[in-house]
Amino acid sequence: MKKKLLFFIGVIFMVNAYAQPKTTANQDIVLKSNGEEMKGKVTQVSDAEIHFIYSGETAEYILKKSDVLKITHSSGRVETFNQSAQAAETRKNDPVSMTATPADHHNKIAILPFAFLLDRQAGAQEVGIKAQEDTYSFLSKHAAGYTLLDIRTTNAALIKAGVTRDKMIGFTMKEICDILGVEYIIDGTVTQNKGYVTSSTYGNTNTDIKRKSDDKVKVNTSDYSNSNSVQRYDVSVSLGIYMDNNASIYNQTHKAFFTSTDGSYSGPLEYLLKRCPLYRK
C-alpha cells in the first residue's frame, strides 16, 4: 500500500513538472517601452493597437502600439514595432553601462546649441542658439511619437553640468544623453563663408537752362552718381544625430544652392531635417 502511495505521488509530481513549462511556452510576452512585461495571449494586432488577454483571465486589454517595444509570440517569433526597439535590446549588452534605464530615455530628443563658424572662425553664439530654436520649432511639428526637450530646459541642464560649447568636446554623446535624460541628441553646425561682392552704380544728369532778358542762354549741368557694394555668403549646415549608446545614426552636410546676402541657413537646415530618421510628415 505504501509503495502504491509513493508511486501515485511521483506520477502527480511528474505531471505537474511537465505541465508547467508547457503553460509558459504557450504564452505571448509583450514588452512595453517602460520595461513592463505582460504574459498572456495577443488576440489582435492592428495599425495602432494591440489586443491582449492575461493568462487565466478573460478581460481584454487594448494597448497603444507606440507603447510597445516588442512581442515574443509563443511560437518563438519576435515582432518589433518601432525603430528604437532593436536599439533598446542592443543596449542591454552594450559594453558602455548606462546610468539611466532605456525606459527613462526612450523616444526623447534633445537639440544642442549649434556651432557657428564665420570664415572658419567661431562666430556669435546667438546664431547657434537661433539655429537650435529653429530646429526645435520645425521638428515639433514633424516628430510624432517623440518627445522634444524644450530649449530652455536643455540649455539650463547643459550649463549646470558644465557642458558649454567650448567644453563639449570633452563629453561623449552618451554622457550628454544621460545628463539630459534623452535617447537622441541632435548636434549641428552652421557655416558661413564670405563669397563674392556685387557692386552697382547709378546716377543722373540735371540740366538747368536760364534765358536772360538780352536773349542770352545760360546752361547749368550737374551729374549725380552713387555706388553700392553687397557682400554675398556661401552657407552650409552640418547635422548629426546620436543615441544614448554613443551610436551615430545620421551625419550629413548640405550647402545652399545659391549665395545670399543675409547668410540665411533655413534652406539647408530644413533639407537635412526632412531626411533625418526622426522626421515624420
CATH code for the domain of 252: 3.40.50.10610
Residues 156 and 268 in one domain: yes
Q: What local confidence, expressed as pLDDT, does residue 97 receive?
A: 42
Task: For residues 263 and 169, state if they share a domain.
Answer: yes
List 208's β-bridge partners, or say none.
220
Domain shared by 112 and 185, yes or no: yes
87, 77: one domain: no
Q: Which of 28, 62, 81 is the last residue of a domain?
A: 81
* Full residue range of the structural domain in which residue 145 is found: 83-281
pTM, rounded to two decimals: 0.55
Q: Are residues 64 and 41 in the same domain?
A: yes
**CATH at residue 37:** 2.30.30.100
- Which residues in the chain show pLDDT less than 70? 1-25, 82-103, 198-227
Q: Which of these three, 81, 108, 143, is where a domain ends?
A: 81
* Cα maximum dimension of the chain: 159
Identify whether residues 203 and 280 lie together within a single domain: yes
- Whether residues 156 and 51 share a domain: the answer is no
CB of 90 closer than 8 Å to CB of 245: yes
270, 201: one domain: yes
Q: 213 and 279 in one domain? A: yes
pLDDT of residue 136: 96
Nine cell digits for residue 69:
517595444
DSSP string computed for 197-264:
EEEEEEEEEEEEEEE-TTS-EEEEEEEEEEEEEEEEEEEEEEEEEEETTS-EEEEEEEE-SS-BSS--
Pair 41, 155 in one domain: no
What is the per-residue pLDDT for 122?
Answer: 78
Question: 81, 104, 136 — which closes off a domain?
Answer: 81
Pair 140, 221 in one domain: yes
Q: How many domains does the chain have?
A: 2
- Radius of gyration for the alpha carbons in the chain, expressed in angstroms and rounded: 33
**Residue 272, CB-side half-sphere exposure with 13 Å CA sphere:** 25
- Are residues 137 and 13 located together in one domain of the fold? no
